[in-house]
Amino acid sequence: MIELTVNGEARSHAGDPAMPLLWYLRDSLGLTGAKYGCGVGLCGACTVHLEGDAVRACLVSVADAAGKSVVTVEGLDPAGDHPVQQAWRNLNVPQCGFCQTGQIMQAAALVARNPAASDEEITEAMSGNICRCGCYQRIHAAVRQVVGGA
């Protein structure tokens, strides 16, 4: 039995320890904010926080998360009003919206670690997250808004 914390709640998993966190969150816990996009860590749609770091939930097994704290977009802010979420709304960032929870979790980890991230640092941090609709201009602008750049 694996014990872990998800969005502040104690959780346990009795199944395959190798199950990626993504499928545990989605299928076992019904937390569907993290999305499946590639399954191999190339797109970032499943990004969650593990001990505060942005990780790809498709690459982290439940066993890897044992005893640790996982935060998904559902737990990012109790009211759903994290500054990154607000900035996303200010700029009407999404098109289809599918990748945006991963983008937001990536951005939230960045601004927590580096509250004065430069344009280049934003680009570097966000380049692991693909948006096929092509919202990068607004994503960059939204992160910049949070770090005080505009």
Q: Which is nearer to another protein, 65 or 140 (CB)?
A: 140
Query: What residue ranges bind another protein (CB under 8 A)?
Result: 15-16, 19-20, 23, 26-28, 30-40, 42-43, 45, 72-74, 80, 85-92, 94-101, 104, 123-124, 126-142, 144-145, 150
Q: Work out how close the CB of 19 gets to another protein at its nearest, in angstroms, rounded to a whole number.
A: 5
Count of CA atoms in the C-beta half-sphere (13 A) of 103:
30
CB of 75 to another protein, least distance (A): 9
CB of 67 to another protein, least distance (A): 21
